[in-house]
Amino acid sequence: MRDIVVSLLILGMLPTCFRKPFVGLLLFSLLAYMRLQDLTWGFAREVRWSFMVAIITFAGFFASRREGRFMVSEARTVIMILLAVLVGLSILTSRDSGADAIALYTEYVKIILIALFTTGIVATRDRLRAILWVITLSFAFYGLKGGVAGILSGGSIRILQGPGGMLRDNNDFALAMCMALPMLWYTARSERRDILRRFLIFCVPLAMITITLTYSRGGFLAMGVTTLLLIWRSRNRVAGFALGGLVLVAGVLAAPEAYKDRISTITTYEEDASAMARLYSWRTAGYMALANPILGVGYAQFEERYRDYEPAARDSNLGEHGVHVAHNSYLQVWAECGTIALLLYLTLVFLSLYDLWRVRALARKRYRTSWIENYCSMFEASLVAYLVGSVFLNRAHFDLFYHWVGLIVAFGIIARRELTDEERYPERGEERGVLRPSSPGGFGAIGRAAGVGPRVATGRLS
């Protein structure tokens, strides 16, 4: 029954996706992050719904051209295109790349195209709010689901897995939920409706429980750093750190012994086979990169070429340490795609953070910019969560990261455009100016942005 309902829902939305490509982007995001298809049990799980939605959405955009430009011409969009080209070249120059690498590259190109498309079509504040609500509510669902299940089971769940797709692996699921924590917190702070604000705040501790139940050490470190950054960006840091300390103590007391034992291996990594495997993988990645500095060993070829660069794995049947993935996104890019790709990848991250810092500095010079500062902190904390978590994960081609960069590009353009409105955002110290009421968030924002809901009056308030 679920398969039929989900299939009819998606198929019924396809004509709207063609007529209104932004609706297609919203549906694609829902399928990518809430994984509706993975909540079914039968045939709907095997259909490539997101690929179908992407094709229909792009076709509708180019057929009508009423939605503006496909992408913004900006340094970060150029870098994403160059990364896609370099990854393709690494496949062409690799001696072992086959059908699997081509299939993975097709998925990577789809990720890049969606990120580029986001920069162009998310051109208004309503659209930005709508897509952020879709992503936030998707992760709120899994935070609520996992957190409640953990409480009811008394923490007896062992290694909670994600729903599917990029979220299937427990470590990837933990990384995505860490990135979701700032979304839940700052979306709640920007929301005027009490019921939605309280719901999102309620989901924050449940999402942290969900991260805990994945037993991911990288997720634990990313959650810790993200929490510290959220406190640092709060208005009352002293109270924030005090509350954080109480939560930490309560967490230590309530956490299952198995989880404490798992996390304790961070400080005794020499005695943990999994931790040592990561160190051997990092060393092997360095060997690969130094031997192939321009285009690497080939996209998705790390495991295939592992034995060529790890003596212990080459000299025995299975190898003393076995064959592993890179377990580090930066080394993964360097080893598989080369030095130029790594530099572009790091530049993409730096430019995104730098853009957020510049927008925040500009907003602080003006009144009535709390939503802009909240969004700056949200994007920044989510990006930092990814940067920390990806040190221990093989997720250089994580869907959410590139989509997040696209949203940061769109946000920077929207925020700067609004900040040039001197009447709406007067300089601090000035008494003149008027304020237009911001439209509420939640489901109403999604409907308005998609062009299917009532519009909020934009009259001025003196």
- Closest to 37 in 3D by CA, of 23, 48, 26: 48
The predicted pLDDT at position 193 comes to 87
Q: Which residues of the chain have pLDDT under 70?
A: 253, 260, 265-275, 311-323, 429-462
The predicted pLDDT at position 137 comes to 94
The predicted pLDDT at position 456 comes to 43
Q: Yes or no: say if 147 and 207 are a contact pair by the CB < 8 Å rule.
A: yes
- For residue 184, give Cα distances in angstroms to 14, 134, 384, 438, 459: 29, 11, 15, 20, 30
Helix, strand, coil in percent for the chain, rounding step 5: 70, 0, 30
Q: Which two tokens stand for residue 168?
A: 């299937």
Query: Which are the contacts of 412, defined by CB distance < 8 A and separation ≥ 6?
Result: 355, 356, 358, 359
Q: Yes or no: say if 399 and 111 are a contact pair by the CB < 8 Å rule.
A: yes
pTM above 0.85, yes or no: yes
- Closest to 117 in 3D by CA, of 181, 172, 70, 169: 70
Q: Yes or no: say if 146 and 160 are a contact pair by the CB < 8 Å rule.
A: yes
3-state secondary structure at position 306: helix
